Amino acid sequence: MKAFGWIVWSALSLLLLLTCEETEPFKPNQNPEIIKFGLIGSGVEARKLGTFICLVTDEDDDSLTYTWSSPAGTFAGSGDTVLWLAPEEVSRYPVLCHVEDGRGGYVEVNFDVQVFPQYIPEYEWTIYNRDNSGLPSNLLWDVAITSDDVVWTLDESHDASRFDGTNWLTWDVASWDDGVDLAVDSQGNAWITAAASWIAKADESGFSKISHSGWSYTVAIDKQDNIWVGGRGDDRQARISKYDGTNWTHYDSSVTGTAIPEPAAITFDSNNNLWYISMNDSIWGGAGILTYYDGLNWTTIEGPAPSWPGCIAIDESDRVWVGTYSGELASFFENEWTLAPPPSNFWPLTDIEILNENEIWCSFEYGGIARANRHSAYLAEDAAWSPVFNTDNSIFSENPLIYSLASDSKGNIWGALWNHSWPSDSSDVALFKLSIIDE
């Protein structure tokens, strides 16, 4: 009986203790709240980028999911700040931002954005040929510009020409060998490759040749002024070679342990890593191969690379751009390719010049030149090109055969043409400068 009384007393004590404990009050989920939203700026030009923001707070510190939508235009990015590529038609467009907290709470906001007509500046053309300048030929392969705006050209007669804005100097650099490619270093020197076992270094006083084994075709210069040459060795193996001002280092399959595709064009990213594009075989139309070298390892990137690659460039975001023989402007970033179709009747894409963060200028063997909006191009938009200069609105003849582009410190675009008219007259164009006169 005593045991039973003790058990009852213990149970009552436990019940009393539990009822006296404080319990956490139920707290319902709170919806997110918008602090600030809208377009940064007063409007967006057609086919240009606008930046939208939707700043949100959540009392429960929940993880938030943002969904942006509009009946027109293209969004890029995610979260509380996104880019919007405006449509081509001028109008006001509604934009919706919907934010969820994952627990049933949400908030959304609608606002309108005005799309204005796109501003297209006016341009002035300056023409150089063998009659009105010191150019020895109207058949140019390449153009490059130094940091102090000295213009170098390479022509089919193996001549390298230097133009400082006033005076022209020319050297017969390649002699009986064909000059193939041209690049300039940070000191203003020009480096020329030929289908031969040497490269040439030229400055305002003359030129000298640096011998090496094999054949050199394409050339590029890294941020330490090392000279990189793509070509073949004496054994006919494709290779990349580096010249540091004193010594040569050759990279082929015997060094890398894997086959090196033959380079078509070379460039460097912001970390001085080497990138080059090539074809996977000698047959035109073969799929392109992108190769990457970080100073230790060579990585060959397969997949949907563009066919017939001809040129390569890298922008400030380290996005790789490749021009194709069929005219597409290809973009490679975060292991994905996109292809922006060319302007109508423009092909092949022969050179790429990145003028600033948003502008990519491209030359074509047939058609003319065109400026691409960087963001619409990597979004693979059809209307990536503006403006386009062709036979209707420029100096170009029916088949301009533009092989190379370069830009100077003032933002002028220079282009080298292979002009077939012979003998030349004052209407021929071998080299042009395109300057903005209305901003």
pLDDT along the chain (439 residues), means of 10: 48 50 71 96 88 95 97 92 92 98 96 91 91 91 96 90 96 69 96 87 91 89 97 88 95 82 91 87 60 91 65 92 86 86 86 87 91 74 74 81 94 87 56 85
CA distance 373 to 120: 12
Cβ pair 426, 409 in contact under 8 A: no
- Longest CA span, the chain: 129
CA angle, residues 377, 49, 380, in degrees to nearest 5? 20
Strand partners, 210: 199
Structural domain boundaries of the chain?
33-116, 122-438
What was the pLDDT predicted at 89?
94
**Helices H / strands E in the chain, number of each:** 3, 36
CA distance 162 to 8: 107
316 Rama sector, left if φ>0, alpha if ψ -120 to 50, beta otherwise: alpha
Q: Whose CA is closest to 346, among 404, 394, 385?
A: 385
CA distances to 28, 144, 314, 410 from 151, rounded to whole Å, are 70, 6, 22, 13
CA distance 246 to 18: 86
Q: Whose CA is closest to 238, among 227, 247, 249, 251?
A: 251
What was the pLDDT predicted at 6?
45
* Domain 33-116 is found in CATH 3.40.50.10090: no
What was the pLDDT predicted at 280?
57
Q: Whose CA is closest to 242, among 256, 227, 253, 254?
A: 227
Q: Quick one: 122-438 is in which CATH superfamily?
A: YVTN repeat-like/Quinoprotein amine dehydrogenase (2.130.10.10)
What was the pLDDT predicted at 149?
98
- CB 343: neighbour CB atoms within 10 A? 21
What was the pLDDT predicted at 339?
83
What was the pLDDT predicted at 220?
97
- What would the two tokens of residue 46 be? 């057609």
| CA torsion angle 278 281 284 285 (round to 10) | -80
Cβ pair 384, 369 in contact under 8 A: no
CA distance 366 to 346: 6
What was the pLDDT predicted at 189?
97
| CA torsion angle 358 366 434 117 (round to 10) | -50
HEC profile for 72-109? CCEEECCCCEEEEECCCCCEEEEEEEEEECCCCCEEEE
CA distance 192 to 184: 9
**DSSP code of residue 286:** P
DSSP string, 247-275: -EEEESHHHHSS--PPEEEEEE-TT--EE
Looking at the chain, how many residues does it have? 439
**DSSP code of residue 126:** E
What was the pLDDT predicted at 426?
39
CA distance 116 to 217: 47
CA distance 268 to 228: 10
**DSSP code of residue 127:** E
What was the pLDDT predicted at 157?
79
CA distances to 216, 245, 276, 293 from 240, rounded to whole Å, are 9, 16, 10, 10
